[in-house]
Amino acid sequence: MKVKVISRSTDEFTRERSQDLQRVFHNFDPNLRTQEKAVEYQRALNAAKLDKIFARPFIGAMDGHIDAVSCMAKNPNYLKGIFSGSMDGDIRLWDIANRRTVCRFPGHQGAVRGLTASTDGSTLVSCGTDCTVRLWNVPVATIMESGNSSDCSSEPRAVYMGENAYWAVDHQWSGDLFATAGAQVDIWNHNRSQPVNSFKWGTDSVISVRFNPGEPNLLATSASDRSIMLYDLRVSSPARKLIMRTKTNSISWNPMEPMNFTAANEDCNCYSYDARKFDEAKCVHKDHVSAVMDIDFSPTGREFVTGSYDRTVRIFQYNGGHSREIYHTKRMQRVFCVKFSCDASYVISGSDDTNLRLWKAKASEQLGIVLPREQRRHEYNEALKKRYKHLPEVKRIVRHRHLPKPIYKAGVLRRVMIEAERRKDHRRKAHSAPGSIVTEPMRKRRIIKEVE
């Protein structure tokens, strides 16, 4: 005869120290836990509500410029540093942690339209409407860490004169070349005062330029004639050209998928493209109610941030049609430039009201040191929300955002207009000969043609 007894060792449930937690044994047999799903659903609901309660995305503003902030650049060699340029020609290096100016770079006589840092972070390249390209030495991190560096001022290492105003500049991810955009696309070397190469396709000004993170010799530009162009530095002529219905203000490559890029457009949308297949967009990102002015991908490649003329900052998933987060303040005016921090934890925006603003990438994220138990609790709550995100109540709480009244009304009006246009197309198709009218998806509708 078999006799079953409960056998426990005292080592299994005895605490080694008085500060240790008591060990709790769980029996995960579903027959004994009939209310497990209901309990988990309630926890997911509470986690979604707690996210709303603790959502405090705005960290602080950095003021110092006396005119609108027109462009920004990250310092790849210093996590806490960011460069900003304004419409009055002032360039500043900021310490994000302390929210103060570390160094100033005076010299431009007009608006600064483009900033970029070299791969090693030792050189800053700026360009502007005064037809000059300037190279600056960036102070080392030890000077930036010292407390008396607020009065630091730097002289340009080199000044290159051009014939026309420059609207954008970008540096290779790995290499010594940088590109400027203006009446044409010029390729420069740090050690030469004249462009080593120039590209021109059409007569309109080029307004943005971005080097590919995976292929150093490939770059994308957008122009005021509504075109997006790809250039290869290894050949003497441009590679491809895409003409859209409205102008593209900025472009950003996905750092984790270097064949894909997203374009910020004047028609309030962003369009993600595969550089190998231009006949349709991979995804259309909607939600803004005015022109999208700037865009920047997170270093993880899973999401990007946009700044718009409608005075809001939005964060999108790389494959999501609608924004997961919207940031706004009463004082913030039209947003001209946005950047993700190099650790993907923060978002920096520059706007027309002369301020840079620092935001959390996750609105309810806890700042400071997080204990292991807290970290596990946060991960558990995130897993619960992800598991029950399709249920109506959880979905409603997670998606809800308070919007300023002008933006809310503009969004309603925009949806009414889009719905009216859809109904009109449907009726036109219903009263036409079968096959005479073909309905194009939104991914193709905004493209006019592709030129090889």
- What are the pLDDT digits (tens) for 71-105? 999 988 888 999 999 999 999 999 999 999 999 99
> Which of 344, 366, 388 finishes a domain?
366
Task: Report the chain's mean pLDDT, rounded to a whole number.
Answer: 90
Pick from 179, 164, 69: which is nearest to 118 by CA? Answer: 179
Residue 314, phi then psi, degrees to nearest 5: -125, 150
Q: Do 165 and 289 fall into the same domain?
A: yes
Q: Do 276 and 133 fall into the same domain?
A: yes
Is position 112 within any domain?
Answer: yes
Is position 27 within any domain?
Answer: no
- Please tell me the total count of domains within the chain: 3
Q: Find the domain containing 204 and state its range.
A: 58-366
> Which of 366, 387, 422 finishes a domain?
366
Q: How confident is the model at residue 239 (pLDDT cuts 50, 70, 90)?
A: confident
Q: How confident is the model at residue 62 (pLDDT cuts 50, 70, 90)?
A: very high
| pLDDT recorded at residue 63 | 92
Q: Do 349 and 389 fall into the same domain?
A: no
Is position 4 within any domain?
Answer: no
Q: Do 93 and 123 fall into the same domain?
A: yes
Q: Do 310 and 236 fall into the same domain?
A: yes
Is position 379 within any domain?
Answer: yes
Reported as a single tens digit per residue, the pLDDT across 338-350 is 999 999 999 999 9
| pLDDT recorded at residue 144 | 60
Is position 23 within any domain?
Answer: no
Q: Give the pairing of strands 123-128 and 132-137.
A: antiparallel
Share of the chain above pLDDT 90, in %: 70
Q: Do 217 and 102 fall into the same domain?
A: yes
Q: Do 425 and 302 fall into the same domain?
A: no
| pLDDT recorded at residue 148 | 56
**In the predicted structure, residue 386 carries a pLDDT above the cut 80:** yes
| pLDDT recorded at residue 118 | 92
Is position 443 within any domain?
Answer: no
| pLDDT recorded at residue 292 | 96
**In the predicted structure, residue 143 carries a pLDDT above the cut 60:** no
Q: Give the pairing of strands 152-153 and 100-104.
A: parallel
pTM score: 0.89
Burial 167-191 (b: 16+ CB within 10 A, else e): bbbbbbbeeebbbbbbbbbbbbeee
Q: Do 44 and 93 fall into the same domain?
A: no
Q: Do 43 and 110 fall into the same domain?
A: no
| pLDDT recorded at residue 388 | 96
| pLDDT recorded at residue 449 | 85
